[in-house]
Amino acid sequence: MDGPPRWRSFPGSFRLGRQRGQRPADGTGWSGVIERLQAANVPVRAIVNPLRGITSDSAYVASVFSQIPGRVLAVGHSYGGAIITNAPTDAGNVVGLVYVAAFAPDEGEALQDIEAGSTDSVLNAAIRPSARRTIPPDQPPRPPSSFPSTRRRTMTPSPVIFRKRTLPSRPPRKGPSRPPPSVGRTVHPDGKSFPPGQSSRPATRRPVPMWCFQWPRAPRSRLPKSRDRT
């Protein structure tokens, strides 16, 4: 392809089990995709996702979008789906959205509510109280928890359950089973596995075309009968 490319893709990555204060998602998970897109002469940028909340993250990503000359195809993974849903409002040059195993929230929806109501997510069912870490008592009050205060321990995805349900194709490893680093983070007992905030814009009725990469499919034998599509 000759001449300057016209289209730019902006993957937004996301780290599972993150908490506020953890390092942001740096987008390196997109390396394989970026290499392929660049090989096709598609200019790509991986935007660092601050993971501070839908409102501020969307504003930041929108500011990056708006500084790019030309039209933008926004690509979001997981939590990044909520960001590309909201960011185009402030950036006028987004012409399409691609959700890669991503949230596509409706207006006013919080991701925790989507996750809680999903029968397809394997994260909630795999979370177990951690025996090692507790939440310091001087931490500020948090939203109402479904766990009693005496059990306000941090929650950790059960390595065995999580791995069986999320990484069915992963070859077995020798030694003790551990989750991969990206999914082994502790999760707050309030279920705060997502940055806070609600979507201010619906993923439906978007004025731009959208594509959705379906939540990855596990082997049929390991799936519950009822599935909620993302």
Partner 1 sequence: MATRAKVEIAEVEGSHVIMISQPQAVTDIIMKALQTVA
Can you give the binding site for partner 1, defined by CB under 8 A?
6-7, 9, 11, 16, 29-30, 32-33, 35-37, 40, 42, 71, 73, 75, 77-78, 95-96, 98-101, 103-106, 114, 166-170, 182-183, 203-204, 206, 209-219, 229-230
Nearer CB in complex with partner 1: 152/186: 186
- Tell me how far, at minimum, the Cβ of 202 lies from partner 1, in Å: 8
Cα 9 to chain center, whole Å? Answer: 17
Rounded least distance, CB 146 to partner 1, Å? 23
Using CA atoms, how far residue 38 sits from 33, 41, 132, 147, in Å, is 9, 5, 44, 47
In the complex with partner 1, the residue whose CB is nearer, 14 or 152, is 14
100 phi/psi in degrees, rounded to 5: -105, 105
CB of 140 to partner 1, least distance (A): 30
Specify the residue, 61 or 100, whose C-beta has the smaller distance to partner 1. 100
Please report the sign of the dihedral spanned by the C-alpha atoms of residue 172, residue 178, residue 181, residue 184.
positive
Residue whose CB is less far from partner 1, 59 or 100: 100
The continuous run of DSSP H or E covering 139 comes out as: none
Beta bridge partners of 9: 44, 73
Q: Which is nearer to partner 1, 42 or 48 (CB)?
A: 42
Backbone angles phi, psi at 30, to 5 degrees: -90, 5
Q: Identify the H or E element spanning 75.
A: strand 72-78
The nearest distance, CB 167 to partner 1, in angstroms, is 5
